[in-house]
Structure 1
Amino acid sequence: MLRDVSPAAERIRFILGEDDDSPAPPQLFTELDELLSVDGQEMEWKETARWLKFEEKVEQGGERWSKPHVATLSLHSLFELRTCIEKGTILLDLEANSLPQVVEKILDNQIETGLLKAELKDKVTYTLLRKHRHQTKKSNLRSLADIGKTVSSASRMFTSPDNGSPTMSPRNLTSSSLNDISDKPDKDQLKNKFMKKIPRDAEASNVLVGEVDFLETPFIAFVRLQQAVMFGALTEVPVPTRFLFILLGPKGKAKSYHEIGRSIATLMSDEVFHDIAYKAKDRQDLIAGIDEFLDEVIVLPPGEWDPAIRIEPPKSIPSSDKRKNMYAGGENVQMNGDTLHDEGHGGGGHGDCPELKRTGRFCGGLVEDIKRKAPYFASDFYDALSIQSLSAMLFIYLGTVTNAITFGGLLGDATENMQGVLESFLGTAISGAVFCLLAGQPLIILSSTGPVLVFERLLFNFSRDNGFDYLEFRLWIGLWSAFLCLVLVATDASSLVKYFTRFTEEGFACLISFIFIYDAFKKMIKFADYYPINTHFKVGDVTLFSCTCLPPDPANISLFNGTTESPLDFFSTTIDMDMDHNNTINWSTLTKKECLKYGGNLVGNNCKYIPDITLMSFILFFGTYACSMALKKFKTSRYFPTTARKLISDFAIILSILIFCGIDALVGVDTPKLLVPSEFKPTSPHRGWFVPPFGGNPWWVYLAASLPALLVTILIFMDQQITAVIVNRKEHKLKKGAGYHLDLFWVAVLMIVCSFMALPWYVAATVISIAHIDSLKMETETSAPGEQPKFLGVREQRVTGVMVFILTGVSVFMAPILKFIPMPVLYGVFLYMGVASLNGVQFMDRLKLLLMPAKHQPDFIYLRHVPLRRVHLFTFIQILCLALLWILKSTVAAIIFPVMILALVAVRKAMDYLFSQHDLGFLDDVIPEKDKKKKEDEKKKKKKKGSVDSDNEDSDTPYSEKVPSIKIPMDIMEKEPFLSDSKPSDREKPFTFLERHTSC
């Protein structure tokens, strides 16, 4: 059932629902100035508060601003404000170029309408044009009053000795000479650092309230100028003024005037009333805006809350789009205030993504991807002009180099160096650079994956056991797999990605993240095995330990003479191999490595002593991780200016690496370092840089290679497209579109190149790609005090990816520099990438809920709509699937890992029979159906038939049509306490003051 709509709501719907070509109203900076006596001298307009989004007050000491806080208003002051707008002067679209001109027109209007006596005009003018003292200026700054002796004496002439308020009309003096009103900002305004918080196109709203002794009734005016005008020093910052609200009243009610001023200032900072103020055509439109604000306002009992407590701004501000959309049309607003297919509720998965629409034409999807990405190709280069791009490039480069070395080493062990570290470097450089330069989504980072390594190991063993040429067999598998990928591109098979819901994406992403974390610790534990900790070592027994190198036994001399390497590398003296080595070599001066190399014997109980390399390695490992996390979050800390915090946050990983490289060099412990190949040649001398396609295997092997190629194709397709889906998520706010078909096309082409050159195969790397996205996230440069910076999107460009892989390729020539980087530091970066990629994953949030009592659980949207036991059941199913995938990848059966990832889609489909579509809509994405669009259109048509008055989203009480709504007629507010000393008695109050209205 739908509720009835009040006349005010209908009026606002008409105001905000009008279709015009005018741009969106600019943001407002609102300043509250009060008429006060400064330092016991003449009255001046003193700035007491300001609003950009939240309220900031001048503290009682007058030396500083308060912290931004949510403005808390009294309900009575809002009603008084409504009466002010109803009874005062309203001038909309007033044409004026200066403040004196605005004041003149306001006073003329008030005199014409009988609201002000003509003899008070000069006094009001004099008062309104008094000088303004802003918080940025020192209280004893003499230049504020540096108007001349004539003005000072004239001011004292018209000032009452008792209270300092104007009592006589100023004669022979203009307002400009009294108050130095000009249309140019002064020096203090131009130097104000607060301008950094204000958007460039912002306008000002000035609120002037105060009490004087020459008025018997309040002087009220609300003015909207036709064009925003710079009123000089009227405003704290050099921002043109669009709105003016003036309230001058009799003595004795300064507190009431102050609260009314705060009320109108808070209203002007409200996004809905802000739009109404810009579009209002008459007084009734403004009153309707206040009524709408009163409908949304929350009242707190006076005995249960202290109004002096300042409410901190929330970390996430609720969007006003719901209120605006309700008045702009309402077809997409449901009774609980949620929009249809809200992104936060799962919505329709990826079914509405234009990149995944099936064209039905040969290579139709590929052609559409090229058409979509071509217009952005040039901008993909100049959009990278930012210091943030440099930090992202260095961060991803170090992660990519570490991954290439690790994978190359494992691949060399698995293939007897037929593919090794150098091949890993070269393949990474070629594949990554070409992909980032020409692919549809250049933010994706290519790398080798675990399933590929397992496949290479099994293929090498199979080829060796059966006498096949491994590289030639691998070449044909690569060619067949590339051909199958091209077939998938031509047939728009990437459109199947829309069936990858959050369930599948999170399962895959979490698994890869856990692998990164597990591998980081696994590498560190291997250090502990290779460099054991010296347990039970006592410092006092150090004199009992020794180790000496003795000459080799005579029986081993023949072995020594047979060595192919001369000791000339270590000694300056010439050694004759036929001479007695005991006479030519000083064995006591040899190092442990040299002693063993030349056949010497190590004697002593200290020869197996190893310094605390393991402990130092773990310090570097955890230190790099903790420092990276801390510096990344430094942007939200309270220390240093905003620019410095942002810069430190952007370079968090690089700074962490440099810090702990410095610590390692300072301590001097021989920790394992990054070893990069220094020569450009194949790892194995039995191979070259090109694999001939024929001659090494029987002809039938070329056809049989299509069978394992099918498995590789599934592996490539699943890894590539799931990573692409995660990168292209809506929450990343990518504006240049995706290119699923184009991405797969270049992966297939590069697979051909890598197969002919005997380089590893490359596919999208989930964790490194997510790290790339996180390092390029953009936020608003100007945010209101107290408001968290808004996420704008990701810096979409190709430069960082291309440069990362170019640097990877030339790393062979940077070996003398890279050898100073400890491996534990890079493993700490691996740990950071694995943990950071889990941030924002709903599965991790639900995993934490298993350990939380219900009363301490966060206010997640799905917990409001889905029973907790159903949430836990959904989480347990994901845990079970993740555990099975982990067990599978840890065994020889890891070769079918991609097929099991595909099985997650089937598991998700089967969950439709276990969970309702309502529950899945909040816990996961709803799998798109053929008639989905038709159902959506039917829902929209039903919504268009009626109007919706949205409930508050946080309401715990479901809507019931039997609940009556209480409406307070505003015509009883004609007499307000601040307007008159008399109050209506109980007999005078209308009997229908709380008349009940039934909602239908």
Structure 2
Amino acid sequence: MPGRGLEEQNRVNRTVKESPPAAMSRNGYFFEESGYLKCDTDDVKEEGAGEELFDGVNSTIVSGDSIRFFVNVNLEGAPSATAESEGAGCVLLHTSRKYLKLKNFEEEVRAQRDLDGFLARASIILDETATSLDDVLREMLKHFAEDPENMEPSCNFEKIMNTLFTDSGTPREGNGTPDVSESTGMNVQTCPSHLKFHLLSDTIQGVTATVTGVQYQQSWLCIICTIKSLQRRHVCISRLERPQNWGENSCEVRFVILVLAPPKMKSTKTATEVGRTFATMFSDITFRQKLLETKTEEEFKEALVHQRHLLTVANQRPSGMSDGHKSHGNKPLKLHDFLNIGKGISDDIARRFPVYALDFTDGIIGNNKAIGKYITTMIFLYFACLLPSIAFGSLNDENTRGAIDVRKTIFGQCIGGLLYALFSGQPLVVLLTTAPLALYINVIQGICDDYNLDFSAFYAWIGLWNSFFLVIYSLFNFSLLMKLFKRSTEEIIALFISITFVLDAIKGIVKVFKKYYHHGHTEGGKSRADAIPGLSINTTFLMNSSVSENQTCTHDGHYGRETAVLSLMLMLGTLWLGHTLYQFKKSPYLHARVREILSDCALPISVLTFSVVGSYIFKEIEMSKFNYNTSDSLFVLAPVQSLSIGSVMSAMGLGFLLSMLFFIEQNIVASLANAPENRLVKGTAYHWDLLLVALINTGLSVFGLPWIHAAFPHSPMHVRALAYVEERVESGHIYETIVSVKETRLTSLMANFLVGLSLLLLPFPLQWIPKPVLFGLFLYIALTSIDGNQLFERVALLLKEQTAYPPTHYIRRVPQRKIHYFTGLQVLQLLILCGFGMSPLPYMKMIFPLIMIGMIPIRYNLLPRIIEAKYLDAMDAEY
């Protein structure tokens, strides 16, 4: 076999049954690829995949430098009785599968010459409207015929079409017209044309080796063919206007590369080698996205030349990612790493400053504009920042008796968000005040009440000590410690945050029912006017409200029950509509761009819709409103000098615990945003961002504004909103792969600027947003945040029968009992964390950051004594 990349060839003979037309693909073709290009660029590669041994004949394993295929072989030479009764014909199909190495553009000169020859006689078709594979190929061959430079006088393009496909006229009795076989001279019966199947003869397609088998790159297809009548090689590339479904493993085809070559060529010039050249280039998911964004043939050629430059000069693996984007690196930690004071900060600045200007121009200037995506992301981010600010501001207003209210929370969000968007190393991270911070503020108020301290001064000192410790952490490169947080630990913390959202939304609606449904009947038919009491870690809007004293009863004598029922409807409706629109991008309805816009704007659409329902359609039913006080100034310095030395030292202890929370939350959320699968290319800045958060919160503390840090799941959702994705279909499931992300500061800048302008909307119309809508908002955030959480997925396995287990990497590599042991230990850690974080004792709540830190020795010292380290590493792996 020719070709440098040929490592192993396995040939199998198998019996293929014809299927009726109803089982065919949309365009009438059964599709079997006979050439495969292995790469680890598009889909995530599982290291050591080839070392896994599986039994059985139906497994497909890619290992090392080869592909081994095991298939069932029908050894029966005659059709069975069942087959005869069903009227199915049978032929023998010989399938040849080869493993081809990615072409090395730096070492193999022929790769560059192949591309140069193609550019000299470029055959490029942009936005092809044909939908069937036959029509696309005919248009490509027609393009050959009409081009004077590519004329082949002795070439019959109909014969080429016949050569591209393997068609069968299966022998069958009783039907069809007798034909004479050219080889034997015997009469044979051929089945009718509607029972023939249509297979491409020779193709190359990108695949990725994982422990679950082979994952196909389904957005491109390289078809190669050797034609005797040709005099030279020909290459044509067609970019389809829309993705086409051409059968299994080719469900989202956007590019078709057709390579034709004469048979008598040297080994480096064969159709397979030319196809390998272009297949290597198209195996890069980022490159394919660039080709989709080109408008003209010249831009298309420029993209090809640029890709060749990358593969030749830099000798890069086409992945769209570099090692520099991995979270915190993979080198073992040493004491010297923490003694290089400021080195992490200087490295972060050196990495991010050269691309600082691009953070403002990407997507705005140039060919690849993304203004529409920026607008939808800005709208989503505006509501994602404003609504929690209202909710937590209302809670803080109750807890601090007006010292920190909604106005201060919105203003602090605006100032802190703008500063972080302008000067941070990773502007895709979103800063917010969060539930644990509201908890700390409540505890601080209790301490001030117990010891007769000035709240503003004590709050300021705690914030200053917190910022001091954060500066120390950033200067001594403590963010490197975050590599000790394995995926399992991060998922425990993430699920803890989701649980707090769910539980406190439920607590809020239960308190509404207790007030209005069960106790709404009072003497004289008057409604109770006292505020809803209670506090929980994530409750955001239990605001003081009262109902008019002269409001009359309902006809059954119970005023307030309709308020409780409407509150439940608004909460569940906000959740349902938001999640439905969020998942709408996976539906087949409407245009892809419309689906994407609806998905990105799911949160604002849901909140606005049910705010109108609660405040306008059911305006007769009074809903609670948050307090608003315009008399307090936003710029009042805290009297820090009024506290004694002992009180300042006490604030230091609380500030240290608070700094632990800031350190963990900031770094974990930033790590999730910088995850390798997000394909961010401008680098990370953990140390600098931590220092910037410390400086921002210093200013917020002295002016009595609420603290802010990186928020989950808002930051990963911000990244996802700015991402371009490529879909593939496997076994009926749609999987998305992020192609690229628009790393910009503009969305965060504009969203926080609009948050500041929202001060002009106080008290109305912002007070028209009912409290239950905000309950639904947090249920929506909790539900979307568990998407992809492996801990949640493994807990769900306990409720499934084993035959329904998904073919994930840990299912393949880890015994089932070990999986359940590991899941149980994670759940136990989660319960302990919830026990401290949701404790009714305020002082116990404050130490739960130390519980998070304690998970590190548990993972490294305790769990390996229960479960083998190789199984722990497999379950902690990304894929």
TM-score normalised by length of structure 2:
0.62
**Pairwise mapping of residues 390-409 of structure 1 onto structure 2 (< 5 A)?**
390-409=375-394
1:451 aligned partner: 436
Q: Tell me if 1:886 matches 2:838.
A: no
Residues 629 and 275 of structure 1: CA distance in aligned 2, closer, same or farther (over 3 Å)? farther
**Pairwise mapping of residues 731-770 of structure 1 onto structure 2 (< 5 A)?**
731-770=677-716
Q: How far has the Cα of 1:674 moved from its partner? A: 5.8
Q: Tell me if 1:653 matches 2:603.
A: yes
- Structure with more relative contact order (C-alpha pairs < 8 Å, separation 6 or more): 1
On the 8 A contact 1:613/1:669 being kept in 2, the answer is: no
On the 8 A contact 1:673/1:821 being kept in 2, the answer is: no
On the 8 A contact 1:11/1:285 being kept in 2, the answer is: no
On the 8 A contact 1:433/1:805 being kept in 2, the answer is: yes
Q: How far has the Cα of 1:678 moved from its partner? A: 6.7
Match of 1:12 among 6, 30, 46: 6
Q: Deviations over 1:218-243 (max 9, x none)?
A: x84467646759xxxxx99799xxxx
1:609 aligned partner: 559
Cα distance between partner residues in 2 of 1:900 and 1:482: 21
2:447 aligned partner: 462
Q: How far has the Cα of 1:851 moved from its partner? A: 1.4
Paired residue secondary structure (2:739)? strand
1:811 aligned partner: 758
Q: Tell me if 1:527 matches 2:544.
A: no
Residues 523 and 705 of structure 1: CA distance in aligned 2, closer, same or farther (over 3 Å)? closer
CA RMSD of aligned residues (A): 5.2
1:174 aligned partner: none
Cα distance between partner residues in 1 of 2:344 and 2:753: 30
Q: How far has the Cα of 1:428 moved from its partner? A: 1.7
Q: Which amino acid aligns with 2:493?
A: F
Q: Deviations over 1:890-920 (max 9, x none)?
A: 2220110111110111111122232223212
On the 8 A contact 1:12/1:288 being kept in 2, the answer is: no
Identity of aligned residues (%): 24
Residues 746 and 869 of structure 1: CA distance in aligned 2, closer, same or farther (over 3 Å)? same
1:914 aligned partner: 866
Q: Tell me if 1:352 matches 2:330.
A: yes
Unmatched tracts of structure 1, length 5 or more: 1-6, 15-56, 83-91, 108-123, 131-198, 209-218, 230-234, 240-261, 293-327, 334-338, 537-544, 550-590, 597-601, 927-952, 954-1000
Q: Deviations over 1:670-705 (max 9, x none)?
A: 25366474736249xxxx6111331x1224433453
Q: How far has the Cα of 1:459 moved from its partner? A: 2.7
Q: Tell me if 1:363 matches 2:324.
A: no
Residues 624 and 276 of structure 1: CA distance in aligned 2, closer, same or farther (over 3 Å)? farther
On the 8 A contact 2:486/2:876 being kept in 1, the answer is: yes
2:793 aligned partner: 845
Q: How far has the Cα of 1:275 moved from its partner? A: 9.3
On the 8 A contact 2:2/2:267 being kept in 1, the answer is: no
Question: Which range is displaced more, 282-291 or 492-501?
Answer: 282-291
On the 8 A contact 1:442/1:797 being kept in 2, the answer is: yes
Q: Tell me if 1:379 matches 2:334.
A: no
Cα distance between partner residues in 2 of 1:11 and 1:272: 22
Q: Which amino acid aligns with 2:349?
A: I
Paired residue secondary structure (2:724)? strand
Residues 681 and 127 of structure 1: CA distance in aligned 2, closer, same or farther (over 3 Å)? closer
Q: Deviations over 1:261-283 (max 9, x none)?
A: x99x99xx999998998999636
On the 8 A contact 1:12/1:289 being kept in 2, the answer is: no
Q: How far has the Cα of 1:844 moved from its partner? A: 1.1
Match of 2:482 among 479, 483, 497: 497
TM-score normalised by length of structure 1:
0.55
2:632 aligned partner: 681
Cα distance between partner residues in 1 of 2:791 and 2:568: 29
1:191 aligned partner: none
Cα distance between partner residues in 2 of 1:473 and 1:236: 64
Cα distance between partner residues in 1 of 2:263 and 2:621: 71
Q: How far has the Cα of 1:858 moved from its partner? A: 0.8
Question: Which range is displaced more, 666-675 or 433-442?
Answer: 666-675
Paired residue secondary structure (2:6)? helix
Cα distance between partner residues in 1 of 2:823 and 2:378: 36
Cα distance between partner residues in 1 of 2:712 and 2:745: 18
Q: Which amino acid aligns with 2:359?
A: D
Q: How far has the Cα of 1:480 moved from its partner? A: 2.3
Paired residue secondary structure (2:396)? helix
Q: How far has the Cα of 1:388 moved from its partner? A: 2.5
Q: Which amino acid aligns with 2:799?
A: L
Cα distance between partner residues in 2 of 1:782 and 1:871: 28
Q: How far has the Cα of 1:407 moved from its partner? A: 1.8
Q: How far has the Cα of 1:518 moved from its partner? A: 1.7
Residues 474 and 281 of structure 1: CA distance in aligned 2, closer, same or farther (over 3 Å)? farther
Cα distance between partner residues in 1 of 2:256 and 2:158: 33
Paired residue secondary structure (1:819)? helix
On the 8 A contact 2:222/2:256 being kept in 1, the answer is: no
Cα distance between partner residues in 2 of 1:358 and 1:392: 38
1:31 aligned partner: none
Residues 276 and 761 of structure 1: CA distance in aligned 2, closer, same or farther (over 3 Å)? farther
Match of 2:548 among 573, 588, 593: 593
Cα distance between partner residues in 2 of 1:718 and 1:279: 63
Q: How far has the Cα of 1:638 moved from its partner? A: 2.0
Q: Which amino acid aligns with 2:447?
A: F
Residues 224 and 531 of structure 1: CA distance in aligned 2, closer, same or farther (over 3 Å)? farther
Residues 548 and 397 of structure 1: CA distance in aligned 2, closer, same or farther (over 3 Å)? closer
Paired residue secondary structure (1:365)? helix
On the 8 A contact 1:532/1:610 being kept in 2, the answer is: yes
On the 8 A contact 2:359/2:743 being kept in 1, the answer is: yes
Q: Tell me if 1:66 matches 2:51.
A: no
Q: Tell me if 1:485 matches 2:463.
A: no
Cα distance between partner residues in 1 of 2:739 and 2:877: 24
Cα distance between partner residues in 2 of 1:908 and 1:724: 21
2:846 aligned partner: 895
On the 8 A contact 2:230/2:262 being kept in 1, the answer is: no
Q: How far has the Cα of 1:287 moved from its partner? A: 8.4
Q: Which amino acid aligns with 1:621?
A: M
Residues 413 and 760 of structure 1: CA distance in aligned 2, closer, same or farther (over 3 Å)? same
Aligned length: 638
Cα distance between partner residues in 2 of 1:879 and 1:204: 47
Q: Deviations over 1:937-970 (max 9, x none)?
A: xxxxxxxxxxxxxxxx9xxxxxxxxxxxxxxxxx
Q: Deviations over 1:591-646 (max 9, x none)?
A: 972649xxxxx899977523512222222221221122222222222222223222
From the two aligned structures, give the one with the greater strand fraction. Answer: 2
Q: How far has the Cα of 1:843 moved from its partner? A: 0.8
1:541 aligned partner: none
On the 8 A contact 1:533/1:612 being kept in 2, the answer is: no
Cα distance between partner residues in 2 of 1:489 and 1:839: 31
**Pairwise mapping of residues 262-301 of structure 1 onto structure 2 (< 5 A)?**
282=266, 286=270
Q: Which amino acid aligns with 2:656?
A: L
Cα distance between partner residues in 2 of 1:885 and 1:782: 38
Q: How far has the Cα of 1:875 moved from its partner? A: 0.3
Cα distance between partner residues in 1 of 2:478 and 2:262: 50
Residues 488 and 776 of structure 1: CA distance in aligned 2, closer, same or farther (over 3 Å)? same
Residues 289 and 852 of structure 1: CA distance in aligned 2, closer, same or farther (over 3 Å)? farther
Paired residue secondary structure (2:846)? helix
1:99 aligned partner: 145
Q: Which amino acid aligns with 2:371?
A: S
Residues 431 and 279 of structure 1: CA distance in aligned 2, closer, same or farther (over 3 Å)? farther
1:924 aligned partner: 876
Q: Deviations over 1:639-681 (max 9, x none)?
A: 2222322232222223333433444433445253664747362
On the 8 A contact 2:382/2:754 being kept in 1, the answer is: yes
Q: Tell me if 1:473 matches 2:467.
A: no
Q: Which amino acid aligns with 1:593?
A: S
**Pairwise mapping of residues 50-61 of structure 1 onto structure 2 (< 5 A)?**
none
